[in-house]
Chains A and B, each alone.
Chain A
């Protein structure tokens, strides 16, 4: 990579975005409510970006994000409560546990060639199964809420009295996951996944082991969701089987679809737009009408899905292109002519 590509316009944009995101807490730092909101936005952005690997690239409609997130949260929280193991380590263990669950689920599912609707349904059922199992598993709390202890120090047990550190942790994870998905997208795995999302049989003929590729994608996604789950547990400070939420899982998948399947930054963009909007509605319409913000949110989802089925990222790109050509015509003649001269 030479200096020219490093300082290309695209990278400058990205750097600017990261700097802007890093400065947000300085503006909102005192307002704890706003900090929770922006952290939640980032959390969904990470989950939706990770979902893109299995959902967008490999074309497997996974609806089990919360199963992996919840497992990561319970692993991290239980390690901290029982053996006083720091969540910094715990979230990695949580991620590995979640990836292990993904292997147990994915190996037979992909082996038996279960796809499309039936894959979506069985992953949706997985969330419910996990919820019921953890409700019955009394050793890790059962149906009661388990509060995480403050422990030795805030940094050791990841229990801060404000939300700014969580925001930065989430931001770092988001950047790491974005870089990771970009790397995967242009790797052998990424091309195999994109191809098998289009036509699985053709890819098999070309000598790609589609089962292994899908399994890898599922495990990477589960690992990221598990790590995020560890932070999630510390952020909210308790553990409860309601973490295994079907609606959260569906929302993650929808953000991935609305963002534009297979476009690296699409889901994160969708999460930033849609989740901010959802929270804005919740704050402004909340009042006596509990649930009204969700109605508006659902209508927007339906409209986007019906009229912009390829997602909002292509829409953005088209907008930028339009603006470029619009102002490109400031000079007479076609922009291409002007540039070649």
Chain B
């Protein structure tokens, strides 16, 4: 009983770090640009497929593929911003929704055309395997993925706090007009923000591909999951995002081990709904 619970918590914490990484991309886009990107899950799906393509074409390990997929996704994000999202910034909120939902359908059906409906997976990664600590099994792939995720989250936190571009992004998120007056080119800043947001999904995509497969409709799960993490964390706190990701990961893992593997999503949505009702600002939100 207690062993199963501890085991669940251990694997949940490790998955939670990856969830936090996925949600971080969404969080900075939503926080800085106030754009609600319904296609975020599809960005993760696209990243996973690109990792698959790079991994099979060059016979690389999944964990190394972000070296190529991160720049690809970064440019994809910037192009998407200039083509679509830039035009929705001053529009009604529903227009944004319609455009990003359109993007979601577009990416999902494009993936269906290119890679067909069957799930794709890469060869066993070199981080596959497990080891034991005090009677508990730890999957090496999850551990490496969690550590890499935390490193990237730390890197983004450093970027936002210490560099000029990061400060510009935070300024634009706090007060758009004041930031413009202080010489922040909001168009470039927003493009950079969206580029980084989608580049982060490429990192997550590579890590996920090391132990999991991908299919064209799998995006929606990551999308709703990252909105759930974001709702739980609230805006503006990166440590909060990590904690929220871990809460979601642990809740998911415990449902799987104690209840029914099919119901893993239910726990996530239950948390989501409860947070919306009881604390709409999130646990650590500034606003």
User: Residues of A with Cβ closer than 8 Å to B?
Assistant: 61, 108-109, 112, 114, 116-118, 120-122, 124-125, 128-129, 132-133, 135-136, 246-247, 250, 253-254, 257-258, 261, 289-292, 294-295, 297-299, 301-302, 304-306, 309
Contacts and interface: CB of A to CB of B under 8 A. Distances in A.
Contacts of B189: none
A306 B88 contact: yes
A60 to B, nearest CB: 11
B266 interface: yes
Interface in B17-53: 36
Nearest to B93: A116
B103 A125 contact: no
B222 interface: no
Contacts of A250: 101, 104-105
Contacts of B220: 128, 246
B84 interface: yes
Given A108-B277, A122-B276, A257 B98 contact: yes
A306 B263 contact: no
Interface stretch (B59-67, B109-117, B150-158, B194-202): B109-117
B263 A132 contact: yes
Contact of A132 (B228, B266, B273, B277): B266
Contacts of A257: 94-95, 97-98
Would you call the interface of chain B mostly helix, strand, loop, or mixed? helix
A309 B262 contact: no
A304 B227 CA distance: 26
B218 to A, nearest CB: 12
A61 B95 contact: no
Interface residues of B, number: 42
Nearest to B273: A122
Given A291-B112, A298-B109, A128 B224 contact: yes
B231 A298 contact: no
Contacts of A299: 102, 106
Given A118-B231, A291-B113, A298-B109, A125 B273 contact: yes
B280 interface: yes
Contacts of A258: 98
Identify which of A136, A246, A290, A309 gathers the most chain B CB atoms within 10 Å of its CB: A309
Contact of A125 (B106, B263, B272): B272
Contact of A298 (B93, B102, B269): B102
A298 B103 contact: yes
B84 A122 contact: no
Identify which of B97, B216, B266 gathers the most chain A CB atoms within 10 Å of its CB: B97
29 contacts: A61-B94, A108-B277, A114-B277, A114-B280, A117-B93, A118-B231, A122-B273, A122-B276, A125-B272, A125-B273, A128-B224, A132-B263, A132-B266, A135-B262, A136-B260, A136-B262, A246-B220, A247-B108, A254-B101, A257-B94, A257-B97, A257-B98, A290-B112, A294-B105, A298-B103, A298-B109, A301-B102, A305-B102, A309-B92
B106 A298 contact: yes
Contacts of A114: 276-277, 280
B88 A125 contact: no
A309 B231 CA distance: 28
Contacts of A117: 36, 93
Contact of B227 (A61, A121, A302): A121
Nearest to A305: B98
A306 B272 contact: no
Identify which of A109, A114, A125, A299 gathers the most chain B CB atoms within 10 Å of its CB: A125
Nearest to B107: A298
The 10 closest A-B pairs by CB, nearest first: A294-B109, A291-B112, A305-B98, A298-B106, A302-B102, A291-B109, A301-B102, A298-B105, A291-B113, A309-B95
B91 interface: yes
Contact of B95 (A109, A121, A298, A306): A306
A298 B95 CA distance: 14
B142 to A, nearest CB: 24
A301 B262 contact: no
B140 to A, nearest CB: 30
Contacts of B103: 298, 302
A301 B98 contact: yes
A124 B92 CA distance: 20
Contacts of B266: 129, 132-133
B188 interface: no
Contacts of A292: 109, 113
B99 interface: yes
A254 B102 contact: yes
A278 B234 CA distance: 39
B99 A306 contact: yes
A41 B95 CA distance: 24
B187 interface: no
A323 B106 CA distance: 35
Interface string B260-287: 1011011001001100110010000000
B82 interface: no
Contacts of B106: 294-295, 298-299, 302
A133 B263 CA distance: 8
A4 B272 CA distance: 55
A61 B105 contact: no
B272 to A, nearest CB: 6
Identify which of B102, B220, B263 gathers the most chain A CB atoms within 10 Å of its CB: B102
A142 to B, nearest CB: 10
Interface string B221-253: 000100110010000000000000000000000
A305 B112 contact: no
B269 A129 contact: yes
B125 to A, nearest CB: 29
Contacts of B94: 61, 257, 261, 309
